């Protein structure tokens, strides 16, 4: 079921991340202090963060995520300070064996409510109708160019080449 939830990339807006260009709403931490009547319920959000934990409930699966900012290319800024916490809820059972605490994630979905966490009394935004992108740590760093040189010879031929990859 999770394979239907996972998408391969971030929607583009002229090469920029829609979360940083089109998302005028506050971070999960800032949203905690908004009066209930000003919450943008039903609006679309793209947030990212580091997975804290997963839970299987009787009729749903939940993910708690420590929010981190996205750069203009929709990459998570994992070393940046946390921007609060948010929760993602999927109806039914979702296999979470490959979702490990510490995994960077990007979530796009609708703000359903702001719930109060029973264990801490903290208000936490709840995202539903969500698409989840699993990000690898390798995707979060910029790679330096690699230069390769090769020389080959065979029966009646020889050659060489230089390659540059980014």
> Quick one: tokens of 157?
């031929």
Tell me the CA end-to-end span of the chain in Å, nearest whole number: 34
Across the strands, what pairs with 70?
76
Q: What is the mean pLDDT of residues 19-34?
A: 69
3-state secondary structure of 20: helix
Distance CA 54, CA 99 (A): 8
Residue ranges in the chain assigned as alpha helix (H): 2-5, 18-21, 28-31
Q: What pLDDT, on the 0 to 100 scale, is given for residue 7?
A: 32
Instruction: Tell me what the pLDDT averaged over the chain comes to.
Output: 74
3-state secondary structure of 11: coil
Q: What pLDDT, on the 0 to 100 scale, is given for residue 28?
A: 85
To which H or E segment does residue 56 belong? Answer: strand 44-56
Q: What pLDDT, on the 0 to 100 scale, is given for residue 146?
A: 56
Q: pLDDT tens, 57-113? A: 999 999 999 998 877 777 787 678 888 899 999 999 988 888 889 989 888 889 998
Residue 22 in this model has a pLDDT that exceeds 80 = no
């Amino acid at each position: 079921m999770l394979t239907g939830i996972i998408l391969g990339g971030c929607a583009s807006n002229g090469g920029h991340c829609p979360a940083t260009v089109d998302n005028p709403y506050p971070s999960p931490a800032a949203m905690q202090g908004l009066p209930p009547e000003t919450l943008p319920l039903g609006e679309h959000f793209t947030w990212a963060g580091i997975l804290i934990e997963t839970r299987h409930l009787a009729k749903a699966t939940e993910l708690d995520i420590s929010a981190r900012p996205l750069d203009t290319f929709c990459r998570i800024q994992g070393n940046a300070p946390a921007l609060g916490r948010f929760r993602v809820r999927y109806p039914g059972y979702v296999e979470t064996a490959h979702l490990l605490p510490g995994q960077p994630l990007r979530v796009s979905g609708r703000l359903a409510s702001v719930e109060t966490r029973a264990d801490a009394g903290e208000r936490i935004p709840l995202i539903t109708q969500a698409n989840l992108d699993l990000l690898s740590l390798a995707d979060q760093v910029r790679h330096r160019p690699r230069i390769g040189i090769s020389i080959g010879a065979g029966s009646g031929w020889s050659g060489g080449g230089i390659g540059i990859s980014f």
